[in-house]
């Protein structure tokens, strides 16, 4: 692989880690705000729903773009990618529960917000495990391959909560 391709792949690896770091920062902030009720209930729900949309968008970008590009370069990573896609499905289920709770919270306040907090605690643990595995497996592959130039922006850039 040419030096320029290697540099670009390493930059994508770094972007992936930075995207994950931003998602970690967002969920930590929401969990802290929920725990201390620093914001109005409606604002907390809005931030929570925006975070859920950002995480879903990130995973959709990986599933629909990054992984297929990567598999063209590295078909040996099919089992790894399959596990990551499976994780995305599990995380999506948690995000659906958080969304349902958020919509209930707009009506019932306290108890639903506490339930959202518990779901986000579990989600944060799952995310950390998933991101760690993905960064080890996929970043290593990115660092060694020359990915196509049209990887979706949704993997690396998303709206903030």
CATH number of the domain where residue 128 is located: 1.20.120.520
Q: Which two tokens stand for residue 5?
A: 């391709």
Supply the range of the domain harboring residue 89: 3-146
Q: How far apart are CA 110 and CA 74, in angstroms?
A: 48
In a domain, 48, yes or no: yes
The fraction of the chain above a pLDDT of 90, given in percent, is: 48
Rounded to whole angstroms, what are the CA distances from 123 to 4, 78, 100? 37, 25, 15
Q: Is residue 159 part of a domain?
A: no
Render pLDDT for 37-92 as a digit per residue (tens, 0 to 9).
Answer: 888 888 989 999 999 999 999 999 999 888 888 888 789 899 999 999 999 999 99
- The answer as to whether 81 is a domain residue is yes
Residue 142 falls inside a structural domain:
yes
> Does residue 160 lie within any of the structural domains?
no
- Asked, for residue 41, whether it belongs to a domain, the answer is yes
pLDDT at residue number 160: 44
Q: Are 146 and 8 in contact (CB under 8 A)?
A: yes
Whether residue 152 lies inside any domain: the answer is no
Query: How many domains in the chain?
Result: 1
pLDDT confidence of residue 27: 97
Please check whether residue 66 lies inside any domain of the structure. Answer: yes
């Amino acid at each position: 692989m040419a030096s320029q391709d290697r540099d670009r792949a390493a930059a994508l690896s770094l972007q992936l880690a930075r995207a994950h770091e931003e998602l970690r920062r967002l969920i930590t902030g929401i969990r802290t705000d929920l725990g201390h009720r620093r914001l109005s209930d409606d604002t907390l729900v809005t931030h929570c729903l925006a975070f859920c949309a950002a995480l879903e968008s990130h995973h959709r970008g990986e599933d629909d773009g990054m992984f297929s590009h990567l598999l063209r370069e590295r078909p040996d990573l099919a089992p790894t990618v399959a596990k990551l896609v499976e994780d995305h499905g599990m995380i999506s289920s948690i995000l659906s529960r958080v969304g349902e709770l958020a919509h209930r919270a707009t009506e019932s306040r306290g108890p639903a917000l506490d339930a959202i907090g518990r779901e986000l605690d579990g989600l944060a643990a799952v995310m950390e495990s998933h991101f760690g595995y993905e960064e080890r497996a996929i970043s290593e592959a990115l660092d060694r391959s020359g990915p196509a130039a049209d990887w979706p922006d949704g993997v690396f850039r998303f709206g903030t909560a």
